[in-house]
């Protein structure tokens, strides 16, 4: 097999694996299974250098306006991964979501 072909195939495989992967961290006060449906709040936050630089806080009291928080989630979506891939990791967004009762 030609080295160029092997290199192109390896790069294509890595790109597909990188873009296909999504990750999320979900926090629920009661520990039940995670909620579906439309979140009360959703915003994409900017991070840089593969997520190593950048820090954000979300005031859930302000978001829920006195209601209790049902669930919080930080998710690395397909679009977030695509933007990270296109910028070679310089810009690495993550999506934050909050569900209120």
Q: What is the mean pLDDT of the chain?
A: 78
What does the pLDDT look like over 18-66, one tens digit per residue?
555 566 667 677 776 666 778 888 888 888 988 788 888 888 888 888 8
Cβ atoms within 10 A of the Cβ of 34, count? 12
pLDDT of 21 reads 57
Digit-coded pLDDT (tens) for 6-25 = 666 666 656 655 555 566 66
Which pTM was predicted?
Answer: 0.67
pLDDT on residue 101: 81
């Amino acid at each position: 097999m030609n080295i160029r072909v092997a290199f192109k195939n390896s790069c294509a495989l890595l790109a597909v694996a990188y873009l296909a992967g999504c990750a999320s961290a979900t926090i629920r006060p009661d520990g039940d299974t995670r909620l579906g449906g439309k979140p009360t709040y959703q915003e994409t936050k900017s991070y840089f250098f593969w997520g190593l630089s950048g820090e954000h806080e979300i005031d859930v009291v302000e978001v829920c306006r006195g209601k209790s928080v049902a669930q919080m989630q930080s998710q690395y979506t397909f679009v977030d991964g695509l933007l990270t891939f296109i910028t070679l990791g310089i810009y690495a967004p993550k999506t934050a979501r909050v569900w209120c009762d």
